[in-house]
Amino acid sequence: MTTEYIFTASDGEELAVTAYGETPGEETRCIIYAHGFKGFKDWGFVPHIGEYLSGKGFLVLTFNFSHNGIGDNLTEFTKLKKFAQNTFSREVRELCELIDAVSGGVFGPVKNPPIGLLGHSRGGGVALLTTACRRNVAATTVWSSVKTFDRYSDDQKRQWREDGYLEVLNARTGQVMHLNVSLLDDFEMHQDELLNVEQAVRSKYGPLLVVHGENDEGVPVDEGKQIHRWSGLPEEYLMLVPETGHTFDAAHPFNSSNPKLEEVLKKTAWFFKKHL
């Protein structure tokens, strides 16, 4: 069962939300999924995540950050101006506001249910930052997560400032997308506090599961290992998946699952059942 919502953030921006699972009841446990850079709630394996985890008894919310570039067409980037204007701080704020909405009963009659975060790639970094500033997040899982948002060379940053934007190729669609210099400004202004992933992990309030493909071509596996070291948690909270990459052999469009993705989902469900 799925239900579609439009959640309005504090600045009036709208986030499309899909809820997977039955109508929330007294025993509801909620998982919120945060997509990554050039990701969206209907990309590839995301609906499968919602179906799988809701089948394990969780209410699962997937959503589009307001400036991820997706509009009324839920599988194509048509809002490129908004994509260019996005910032890391905005994504953290929007996830915090969505958590508060869940706790306030916006997505069902139950208030203050146990909440878990599941973030992929850049969404993993956003989930880690959000966990550190929201005590009502009981547990967090990150898949293929970045350990920092500082992912550009000095030469790229210099050219970025000269041009006022950075060009990003979407290999799947062939689109050349822009990132305004405001994204770089946002990181440099907040890198020591709000956007400091290491600090967030070391100060987290709940348990953390780190999952990473050993052959990840987008975010090297060493980043996942570093996040786990920062957490100080036992080895059972680090899952390294051999012979697979950034999306665990899944693609968009999503035709079917595969053994590696199913093992990741199985471990993720175990973690949230244990800690939510």
Q: What proportion of the chain, given as a percentage, has pLDDT over 90?
A: 91
169 assigned to some structural domain: no
- Residue 226 in any domain: the answer is yes
User: Residue 107: which domain range?
Assistant: 2-151+191-275
Q: Is it the case that residue 4 has pLDDT exceeding 70? A: yes
Per cent of the chain over pLDDT 70 is 99
SS3 letters across 3-20: EEEEEECCCCCEEEEEEE
Dihedral pair phi/psi, residue 152, rounded to 5°: -130, 145
Q: Are strands 208-213 and 137-143 parallel, antiparallel or unpaired?
A: parallel
Is 16 a member of any domain? yes
| Residue 171 placed within a domain | no
CATH code assigned at 64? 3.40.50.1820
The pTM score is 0.97
pLDDT tens per residue across span 18-40: 999 976 666 789 999 999 999 99
42-63 pLDDT tens trace? 999 999 999 999 999 999 999 9
Q: Given this model, what pLDDT does residue 89 score?
A: 98
Query: Quick one: pLDDT at residue 28?
Result: 86
* Inside any domain, residue 110: yes
φ, ψ of residue 142 to 5 degrees: the values are -125, 135
Residue 192 backbone phi and psi in degrees, to 5: -90, -15
* DSSP codes, the chain: -EEEEEEEPTTS-EEEEEEESSPP-TT--EEEEE--TT--TTSTTHHHHHHHHHHTT-EEEEE--TTSSB-SSTTSB--HHHHHH--HHHHHHHHHHHHHHHHTTTTSS--S--EEEEEETHHHHHHHHHHHH-TTEEEEEEES--S-S--S-HHHHHHHHHHSEEEEE-TTT--EEEEEHHHHHHHHHHTTTTT-HHHHHHT-SS-EEEEEETT-SSS-HHHHHHHHHHHT--GGGEEEETT--TTTT--SS-----HHHHHHHHHHHHHHHHH-
Lowest-pLDDT choice from 6-10, 39-43, 75-79, 131-135:
131-135
Residue 249 belongs to some domain of the structure: yes
For 146-171, the pLDDT digits (tens) are 999 999 999 999 999 999 999 999 98
| 144-81-20-28 Cα dihedral, nearest 10 degrees | 80
Please report which confidence band the pLDDT of residue 110 belongs to, taking 50, 70 and 90 as the band edges.
Answer: confident
In the block, tokens 């969780």 appear at 58
Question: How many degrees, rounded to 5, is the angle at CA 156 between CA 154 and CA 159?
Answer: 110
At residue 197's C-alpha, the angle toward residues 137 and 45, to 5°, is 65
For the segment 205-256, what is each residue's pLDDT rounded down to a tens digit?
789 999 999 999 999 999 999 999 999 999 999 999 999 999 999 999 999 9
The answer to whether residue 248 is domain-embedded is: yes
Average pLDDT, the chain: 95
At 257, is the pLDDT very low, low, confident or very high (cuts 50, 70, 90)?
Answer: very high
The phi and psi torsions of 169 (rounded to 5 degrees) equal -90, 130
- Is residue 215 one of the residues assigned to a domain? yes
In total, how many domains does the chain have?
A: 1
